[in-house]
Amino acid sequence: MENEPLYILKKYWGYDGFRNSQEAVINSVLSGKDTLALLPTGGGKSITFQVPAMMKEGICIVVSPLVALMTDQVEALKNREIRALSLAGGLPYSELERLLDNALYGQYKFLYLSPERLQQELVRSYLKAMSINLIVIDEAHCVSHWGKDFRPAYLQCKWLKEEFPNVPLLALTASATHQVQQDILHHLGIENATVITTSLARPNIAYKVYKVSDKWHELLQLLRKTEGSAIVYLRSRNGCIQLAELLQNHGISAAYFHGGLPAEEKNKKLSMWLLNDVRVMAATNAFGMGIDKPDVRFVIHWDIPQTLEDYFQEAGRAGRDGNPAEAILFYGKIDVENANKLLKDYLVDIPFLKLLYAKLNAYFQIAIGEGQEGVFSFFFPDFWKRYQLSPIKSYNGLQVLDRMSIISLSQQFYKKVTLHITAPAPQLITYLQTHRYLKNLVIYLIRSYPLIYSQPIALEMEKITELTELDYRDIIKNLEHLHNDGMAILKNEASDIQIVFNVPRDDDRTINSISKNLKEYNHTKLSLQEAVFRYLQNEDTCRNIQLLEYFGEKSEKPCGVCSNCIAKLPPSKVDKKEVKKAVWSLLKSKPITPNELFIALPFPEKDINKVLEELLYMQKIAYNNCNELVVNS
C-alpha cells in the first residue's frame, strides 16, 4: 500500500487519482521500460516521474533546458519535504562540487541539471558514483533538428543511456510531430521505447481564425459582448503594455506580463489575474510556465505565432475546466508582412553572430581564452545602444548563442542602488547646513548603514521609501545631488539579462563550430513559420482536424465549432423588422455610435449595418459632430 503510486500521489500531492495518461506512463517506468510520453500542456508531466522516483531507492536525474522551471520544481518539492537540488548556471567550481557531494551523500531524491551541465567531466564523474533510479529528459523535442527548440547540447543526453543502460529513461514533451518523435528515440538511444501518447483533441475549445481589417475593434467587441477570463498573446513587451492600457481606458480590467518584469511584480500580476481581480492578461510567451487557471474562456493571439507548436500550447491554456472556451487568432495583411519581417530579424547569420559575440566579450572585457563559467548581468538596452546594434536581431542572436550552448541566457530583472559617502564628517555637516532638504535622508543612511563611510553599501530602497516618506524618484534625485556635489559616490544599476559564458572566448572559432547547426536551425524555423501560414490560409478544413493532423493524430469528424465549421453552416435567419425596431428604439433614446449599437444589440453587425444604411439613405438619422447617430427632427 505504502509503495503504490496512488498512495504516494495522495501523501505528497494530495490528489485522489491520476489524469490523462499519467498512470500509464508511471506503470511503464516502474516496469523498467524506456518511455517516450507526449502529454499536453497542463497534463501534469512532472507527476509522471516524481511519483515513481519517490517509490524507488536512489536519485532521479532530470535534464531540463529551463532554469526557471527547474527552480520552480525544486522549490515545490522542498515545500512537500522532498529533498531536491538544482545545478543552475553560473555556479563556482567549489559550489558545484559541494552540491554534487550533497546529491551523492545527502539522500536527495531529485537532481535537476541543464544539458550543458551534463557535458562537464566533474558532473559525469559524480553521476557515475550515484545510485540513479530514473533518468528524465524534459522538453525532449529539443534533441531534434526538426523540433521548434533544437539545442545541440541535448544530443549529449544519449550519454546517460549509454552509461546507465539498466536505468529506465523517460523522455517527456507536450507535443511532437511523427518526425520529431523518431528523432527523439534515435538521438536518446531508446529506439525500442514504449511510446505513450495522449490525444491532443480538446473538444471544448473552438479554434477560430479571422482575417480582419481592424483587430482592436474586433477584440473590444468580443470582450464587451462576452464574460470570462482571457489571455491576449503578443510578441512585444511594449505591445502588451499599450494593449493593457487601451483596455483599461475602455473600462475593461486588464494587466500586462512579460519576461522583463521584476519577480515581485510578476507574482503580483499573476495573483491578481488568478483571483479574477483583472479579467484580461496581455502577455508575451513568458506568461506560460505554471499558469494553471482552469476557467480561462478566451485565449487570443494578437500577432501571428512563430510555430503551430507555440500556438497550440498557448491555445491549450483555455478551458481547462472542461467548459466551452475559444482560441481566437485575429490577423490582417499587415500582420503577415510583420511576421515575415520578424522572421528575417529572427534568423541570425554567421557574420552577425560573430559581430555580436565579439561585442559581448568586449562589453564585459573578456580576454581571449578566458570567461568560461563567468556570470554577468547587464541592462540589454545599454548594450545594443552602445554598439548601435539592432535590438531585435541582437536579442535573437543571444537566444541562438544560448541554444547553441555558447552562453546560458536568463531574464533576471533587478535594480541595485549603492552609495559610498566619501566626504569627511565636518565637510558633510557644513554641506547639510546649506542643503537642509537632504538632512533627514543622510542622517537616516548614516544611522542605518554604519559602514557607508568606508565602502559602497547596497541600499534597501523599499525600506528607505517607507521610513523616510520619500518616493523612489525623490530619493534617487537627492542621492544624485550628493554624488554631483562630491559628497558621495552613487551607483544606480539596472539589469534585465544574466549571462553565463559556457566556453572560453575564442571569437571566430567559437562561432564557426556551430555554423552547421545554425544553418539547420534557420531552415527549421522557416519551415515551421510556413506551416503557420498554411494553417491561416486553409479556410476549408476544420481547424481542429488541421491541428491534430499536424501532430500526427488522425481525425475525420469536423468539430462543428471552429471558424471554418461555422462558416459552412447555413446563415441564421434574422428578422429584419426586429433588428430595425431595436435599432430605432435605441436611436430615439439617445445619441449613440455604431460601435455602441453593435455591443448593445444581440444581432450580427452586418444586419445592423444594413438597417443603419437604410435609415441614413432615407435621412431619418444623421451623424452629429461627435460622430454619434441621432434621429432627425
Q: Has residue 261 got a pLDDT over 90?
A: no
Phi, psi of 541 (to 5 degrees): -80, 140
Q: Has residue 432 got a pLDDT over 80?
A: yes
pLDDT attached to residue 234: 95
Q: Which three cell numbers stand for residue 350?
A: 554567421
Looking at residues 79-108, what average pLDDT do you find?
87
β-pair partners for 631: 621
Exposure of 196 in the CB half-sphere (CA atoms within 13 A): 23
Q: Which three cell numbers stand for residue 6?
A: 496512488
Q: Which three cell numbers stand for residue 477?
A: 534625485
Phi, psi of 148 (to 5 degrees): -70, -20
In this prediction, what percent of the chain has a pLDDT beyond 70?
Answer: 97
Those residues whose C-beta lies under 8 Å from the C-beta of residue 173, and which sit 6 or more positions away, are 36, 37, 38, 39, 139, 140, 141, 180, 184
Which residue shows C-alpha cell 553572430?
A: 353
First to last CA, the chain: 84
SS3 string of 437-475? HHHHHHHHHHHHCHHHHCCCEECCHHHHHHHHCCCHHHH
pLDDT attached to residue 616: 85
pLDDT attached to residue 222: 92
Q: Has residue 559 got a pLDDT over 60?
A: yes
Q: pTM of the full predicted structure?
A: 0.75
pLDDT attached to residue 454: 86
Those residues whose C-beta lies under 8 Å from the C-beta of residue 532, and which sit 6 or more positions away, are 304, 305, 306, 307, 308, 311, 339
| Nearest by Cα to 113 from 122, 285, 105 | 122
**Lowest model confidence (mean pLDDT) among 40-54, 423-437, 556-570:** 40-54
Q: Has residue 1 got a pLDDT over 60?
A: no
| Nearest by Cα to 457 from 489, 480, 434 | 489
* Separation between Cα atoms, residue 199 and residue 201, nearest integer Å: 5
Predicted confidence (pLDDT) per residue in 450-467, tens digit: 889 888 888 887 678 777
Looking at residues 159-180, what average pLDDT do you find?
91
Give the DSSP H or E segment for 428. helix 425-434
* Separation between Cα atoms, residue 187 and residue 168, nearest integer Å: 16
pLDDT attached to residue 42: 65
- Choosing among 1.10.10, 1.10.3470, 3.40.50, 3.40.720, the CATH entry for 341-413+497-525 is 1.10.10
DSSP secondary structure, 555-571, as one string = --S--SSSHHHHHTSPP
Predicted confidence (pLDDT) per residue in 279-289, tens digit: 999 999 888 76
Q: How many CB atoms lie within 10 A of CB 70?
A: 23
Between these two residues, 380 and 83, which has the higher pLDDT value? 83
- The chain-wide mean pLDDT, for the chain, equals 88
Looking at residues 48-74, what average pLDDT do you find?
89
500 and 408 in contact (C-beta within 8 Å)? yes
Q: Has residue 66 got a pLDDT over 80?
A: no
Whether 5-197 shares its CATH topology with 205-331 is answered: yes
pLDDT attached to residue 174: 82
Those residues whose C-beta lies under 8 Å from the C-beta of residue 302, and which sit 6 or more positions away, are 215, 219, 232, 233, 234, 239, 243, 282, 330
Topology classification of domain 5-197? Rossmann fold (3.40.50)
* Separation between Cα atoms, residue 264 and residue 461, nearest integer Å: 14
Confidence of residue 620 (pLDDT cuts 50, 70, 90): confident
pLDDT attached to residue 456: 87
Angle between helix axes 543-550 and 308-315 (nearest 10 degrees) is: 120
SS3 string of 55-85? HCCCEEEEECCCHHHHHHHHHHHHHCCCCEE
- Choosing among 3.40.630.40, 3.10.310.10, 3.40.50.300, 3.90.1150.110, the CATH entry for 205-331 is 3.40.50.300
- Could you state, in order of their start, the residue ranges of all structural domains in the chain? 5-197, 205-331, 341-413+497-525, 414-495, 576-631
CATH number, domain 576-631: 1.10.10.10
Predicted confidence (pLDDT) per residue in 197-252, tens digit: 888 889 999 999 999 989 998 999 899 889 999 999 999 888 999 999 999 999 99
Predicted confidence (pLDDT) per residue in 513-554, tens digit: 999 888 888 988 899 999 999 999 999 999 999 999 998 888
Between these two residues, 386 and 230, which has the higher pLDDT value? 230
pLDDT attached to residue 530: 94
